[in-house]
Amino acid sequence: MPAANRHSAGRRAAALGALALTGSLLVAAPAEAAEAGGGKGSPSGAPTAASTPKSDGAKGICKRLPKTEERIGKALERLNGNATVVGSVARLEQRVADAKAAGHTEIETYLNGRLTSRKALVTTLQARQKDLKSVSTWCAAHDQGAGGGNGSGSGSGSGK
């Protein structure tokens, strides 16, 4: 008799799963129909003007600039460190060499992939550091981004 109970329990689970799927489809269908109808009268319909950005975020970028520069500088310092620095390219190169010397080809392949990514990260961070220097100059010349283009209305000619 226990085998019959297990079989019926499986049927009950399948029935509950089908019931849950049917319920979720019934709930989703009206929402899809409202969106397909242009979202009229639906608060979750088509995107509205309120969901589009009102500025380029210059004020926030200028405000976070010192911390961003510091974070990128620390990351580059770590990546460019010697083999004793955890997270450095040199340390990962040493691990690749150790894996090769030990004959661990799969480990060497895996670490080489990480090494390639880490070297690319150095290049990317150096480019961002260079870009941030020009952003810093721009922020200083434009009242830390508080001027026009940020949606505050303090710029010249709002166009409204």
Q: Which of 35-39, 89-93, 149-153 has the lowest mean pLDDT?
A: 149-153
Give CA–CA dist 108/97, Å, rounded: 8
Residue type at 153 in one-letter notation: G
CA distances from 117 to 14, 120, 122, 126 (A): 46, 5, 9, 14
Q: Which of 29-43, 88-102, 135-149 has the lowest mean pLDDT?
A: 29-43
Q: Are 22 and 15 in contact (CB under 8 A)?
A: no
148: left (phi over 0), alpha (psi -120 to 50) or beta: beta
pTM for this model (two decimals) = 0.58
